[in-house]
Amino acid sequence: MRVSRNIVITGASLIALLIVLGLWSLMPSRTIELAPPPAVTHDGDLLRIRAGGPLDGRLTVEPVAETLSPHQVELPAQLITAPGQSVDIHAPVVGRVAGLYVQTGQHVQKGDLLATLYSGDLAQAWSDDRKAQATLALTRQAYRRAVGVLNAGGNAVKDMQSARNDLAQAEAEAVRAHLRLQALGTTGGEGYQPLMAPFSGTVTAVSIGVGQNVTDMTATLMNVADTGSVWVQASLPESLIPEMGTTMTLDAPFPGQTCNGPVTSQDASLHTDTRRLNLYLRCSNLQGLLYPGQFTTATLNITQQAQPILPKTALLMDNDLVSVFVETAPNTYRRRFITISYEEGESVRILSGLKAGERVITHGAILLNDY
């Protein structure tokens, strides 16, 4: 009885085992997946990219190029009248405007009459000149008479000497009175002071009218400017002064005309209010298409020695530090910090840290930045 019971238990156990095995065989098979090798491994300061990994083929590596092109800087610029070619007209005497013969925008030739002033000061100058000439004629006659009397023995030497002194003073006064008229620029017409054009040009401003009393000789009555040649004034920031070279050109576009050529001149000192240095370019304006006061953006071209150049996509920025990944072997890279000088469109020049011909990652370097 006991033996049959053991047989039943054993048989039941076998049946249960067979059922479990059958069910297990019906379940889908499973495989144990192992973790893939890392895409990037560190070897000191080197980064190695696994061949066939997720980064393989996503990095573009190119050699560092070299450029001889000039450095280009955009500067604010404006047109100004050429130095010495814009003159403010002032009255040399006080008086009343008797005639005005020009208007703003009118072209005049050198020596043209701009306006006339009726002036008591000028009348006084003419009177002084006539009196000086009359006194000179009288003292000259007195001196000749004194010399003749002395030669005849009827006069003392001191009388002749006194007459000669009077003549010298009269001559000096006559010269002074005449030079006074010349300084006033008068050509005739007592009491009428002419205002003449100092050179050929355009009247750019008129601030008087007929009948107006001119009481301040320092006041500007009008302005005459020669705009046949104008200057482009470009303002260079103080930070770029160290980049200046001995050979620089300016390109300044304006409607209808572009001014370009070597820098004509530059300021000798920095403007303390703007912290800028003005550069100048002489520009012909014979067609009259340019007007002083026009603004533009000028391009300063600074000649440079050969320098390495990189596209901006190769740069990795970390606060004030700039780095790139340099290829040391296939799929092996090292981070290197570099110094850049300035932007050249979509590229930058390299001051230090790289040489022309070295291979760097130009696209996709950001994928390695966190490793």
pLDDT value of residue 4: 64
Q: CA-CA distance, 234 to 295, in Å (whole number)?
A: 10
Cα separation, 277 vs 270, in Å, equals 5
Distance CA 192, CA 118 (A): 5
CATH number for the domain running over 120-190: 1.10.287.470
Q: How far is residue 175's CA from residue 181's CA, in Å, rounded to a whole number?
A: 10
Q: Helices in the chain by DSSP H: which ranges? A: 2-26, 120-151, 157-184
What was the pLDDT predicted at 350? 87
> Which residues of the chain form CATH 2.40.50.100?
91-118+193-219
DSSP string, 298-325: EEEEE----EEEEEGGG-EEETTEEEEE
Cα–Cα distance for residue pair 167/188, rounded to 1 Å: 27
Q: Mean of the pLDDT values across residues 22-49?
A: 71
Rounded to whole angstroms, how far apart are CA atoms 298 and 183? Answer: 44
Lowest mean pLDDT segment, chosen from 6-10, 39-43, 96-100, 286-290: 6-10
pLDDT, one tens digit per residue, over 215-228 is 888 899 999 999 89
**What mean pLDDT is predicted for residues 178-198?**
75
Most confident of the following: 10-24, 124-138, 217-231, 333-347: 217-231
pLDDT value at position 293?
92
- pLDDT at site 33: 56
Residues 6+ apart with CB under 8 A from 221: 89, 90, 91, 115, 195, 206, 207, 208, 214
Helix (H) and strand (E) counts in the chain: 3, 25
- Over residues 277-298, the pLDDT tens digits come to 999 999 999 888 999 999 999 9
Q: CATH 1.10.287.470 spans which residues of the chain?
A: 120-190
Q: Is the pTM of this model over 0.85?
A: no
Q: Where in the chain is the domain with CATH 2.40.420.20?
A: 46-69+306-368
- The arithmetic mean of pLDDT across residues 20-36, rounded, is 61
In single-letter form, the type of residue at position 58 comes to R
The CATH code for residues 91-118+193-219 is: 2.40.50.100
Q: What is the mean pLDDT of the chain?
A: 85
Query: Which pLDDT score, from 0 to 100, does residue 335 have?
Result: 92
Long-range contacts of residues 137-146, Cβ cutoff 8 Å, at least 24 apart: 138/170, 139/163, 139/166, 139/167, 139/169, 139/170, 140/167, 140/170, 142/166, 142/167, 143/167
- What confidence tens digit (pLDDT) does each residue in 46-76 have? 888 888 878 878 889 999 988 877 778 889 9
Q: Where in the chain is the domain with CATH 2.40.30.170?
A: 73-85+227-302
Pick the CATH number of 46-69+306-368 from 3.30.365.10, 3.40.30.10, 3.30.870.10, 2.40.420.20: 2.40.420.20
73-85+227-302 CATH:
2.40.30.170
Q: Quick check: 64 and 346 in contact, CB under 8 A? A: no
Separation CA 116–CA 268 (nearest Å):
41
Give the per-residue pLDDT at 79.
95
